[in-house]
Amino acid sequence: MIEALTRTVDDRMTGTPDVPSELRQYLETLLSEPSMPGITRLTSTGMALLPDRLFETLASREFCSLSLGRVTGCRDAVMASVTRALHRVEPIHFYYGLGGGYATSMRSGTPRPVSEVGLAELLLLRQVTRLAARVSQFYPVGIRFSLVIDNLSAHLVEDVPVHDTLAYCRNLRRLVDDLGLQALTDLLVTSEYFSIADFAQMWPRGAGVPDIAALTNKSRGRASVPPHEAGEESARRRDAARQAAERLLAPMIRGVNLTDRTTESLGFRPFPGGEASDERGEVVLTRAGRTALTPMRLTAANHADYRVERHAVAGILPSSIVEMGYAERVRD
């Protein structure tokens, strides 16, 4: 079940001197409106160059977490989507796989799913507005950005209740509204379109594929797996659920696929400097050396290297975000 965040005064550390004021300055800068260029007139020359310019923008270090060599295979699919949008004079549609419908908290030292949105979602939405600003420089029709949340797979594979992931989706939609991004960003949530029966119809068949009926009966489906095979069994469950979800979503996704995972999809940085990762973690702020604050992903692998403070952000951020973490390195 998704863990409820507790926010008592005693639960927060006193705080490193100057951190609260630096957090405020960082957030105020982040929330300032990005400089949007003037409307560009689309010429025939610009139309011819548009697919290439769009791919170069997506593959740039500002937005792409993977090397150019790893994303070259995505070029044809991106070019086809952009060309189709161009011919129809419609926004270029991006679909970003956001996961199972929960955020991650490292409060206890291990990753736990929570329904509250925080810095990770705020930074992701800011990346979306930056991408929209870049694209509008050469394509005035702009973009549309859908956040794809596969909460049915999270229920089947990770035992996360659907009502908890829907609470996260409500919080995320509230943040989108708070930031005034309704015309740019929406959510595509699998449980709002499909059922477990739909997943069963698309579930892969074959030797070694977990039975979806066993996954819907948690006690029967998990008890017979020996501990030494648990990791391999979990990977098979995830892969089967991914295949079923992709088959169901395929008719709905008619644009450019993006992800922050280490897959063959085009990697999209979820925050400045963010790298592709399959490891769950919480996005917090830290210092790069002794310089300005910068975001990082706090995970089970690096959590012991940092002392984490929790800071209230009421009055700075939209009310949909209550607190955020600051991590100070304590060992190299």
Q: If you write DSSP's letter for every residue of 83-105 in order, what string do you get?
A: HHHHHHT-PEEEEEEEESS-EEE
pLDDT of residue 220: 44
- State the pLDDT confidence band at 6, using cuts at 50, 70 and 90: very low
Question: How far is 82 from 274, CA to CA, in rounded Å?
Answer: 25
Question: What pLDDT, in 10s, does the model give residues 49-106?
Answer: 888 888 889 888 889 877 777 777 788 888 888 889 988 989 999 999 999 999 999 9
- Cα of 245 vs its chain's centroid, Å: 17
pLDDT in tens, 105-132: 998 888 899 999 999 999 999 999 999 9
Alpha-carbon gap, residue 70 to 282, rounded angstroms: 26
